Amino acid sequence: MDIKVAIYEDNDALRESLTYLIKGSGLLRFAGAYPDCRAILKNCESEMPDVVLMDIELPYISGIEATRLVKDKYPGVDVMMLTVMDDRDKIFDALRAGATGYLLKKASAIQIIEAVTELADGGSPMSSEIARKVLEFFTAPGSKIKNDYSLSAREVDVLKRLVMGDSYKMIANHCCISIGTVCGHINSIYRKLAVNSKSEAVVKAIKERLV
């Protein structure tokens, strides 16, 4: 495993702690730690991280705007928000910007390492509080709107699990189907929604309330 991780955090003590965590994990490779995002595109070009740990409230450029910049130019870089904010609007703004993970800063060191490896493995890790807010939004009465994508009931279920951050393996276990079948459903979802990636599918599901 060789997952390069970059850190964007303006709190000096926390940035230093995260640096030690990444360097000492034995599983991840350190790709830089920065107090703001003014040079984030240049940093990505030179270091090419696999995963970016991103705070939301940063000086000069917000973490959400920086996420949008990174995903526009380097769509293969995964961004995981690591923040104290559990405000629903901030959560969805971050997901719309292209973030594929969302952890609260009170997460333990083990949870952060596990989330980074899950993210690099195709999952969308979220703190339980965040996942609950996402689920409550989609299960609230009247939250769904009509869609014309002809998604089957199984495809809607799979899409909902993607929005909740489940990996392909977790979806397979939840639906009692093989990972190959999961991939087939996901390919069909991509085709029907006219998207090319999981993050695009999740953003479209959130924006149009498809699940």
Q: pLDDT tens-digit profile of 3-52? A: 999 999 999 999 999 999 999 988 899 999 999 999 999 999 999 999 99
Q: Give the pLDDT of residue 143.
A: 55
Q: Give the pLDDT of residue 147.
A: 62
Compute the radius of gyration of the chain from its Cα atoms: 17
Cβ atoms of 155 and 188 closer than 8 Å: yes
Cβ atoms of 81 and 101 closer than 8 Å: yes
Q: What percent of the chain is modeled with pLDDT above 70?
A: 94
Which residues in the chain belong to E strands, given as ranges? Answer: 3-8, 28-34, 51-54, 78-83, 101-104
Residue 65 or 200, more confident: 65
Rounded average pLDDT over 80-102: 84
Alpha helices in 58-108 (DSSP H): 63-73, 88-97
Q: Give the pLDDT of residue 142.
A: 57
**Above 90 in pLDDT, residue 148?**
no
End-to-end alpha-carbon separation of the chain, Å?
A: 34
Residue 80 half-sphere exposure, CB side, CA atoms within 13 Å?
A: 33
Superfamily of structural domain 3-130: Response regulator (3.40.50.2300)
CA–CA dist 200, 189 (Å, integer):
11
Domain limits of the chain? 3-130, 139-208
pTM: 0.70
- In whole angstroms, how far apart are CA 66 and each of 5, 51, 94, 118? 16, 14, 10, 22
Burial class of residue 105, CB neighbours in 10 A (0-12, 13-18, 19+): middle
What's the pLDDT band for 127 if we cut at 50, 70, 90? confident
**Above 70 in pLDDT, residue 140?**
no
**Above 90 in pLDDT, residue 88?**
no
Q: Give the pLDDT of residue 139.
A: 62
Residue 97 or 206, more confident: 97
- In whole angstroms, how far apart are CA 73 and each of 8, 11, 45, 67? 17, 26, 10, 10
**CATH 2.40.30.40 corresponds to the domain 139-208:** no
Rounded average pLDDT over 72-87: 88
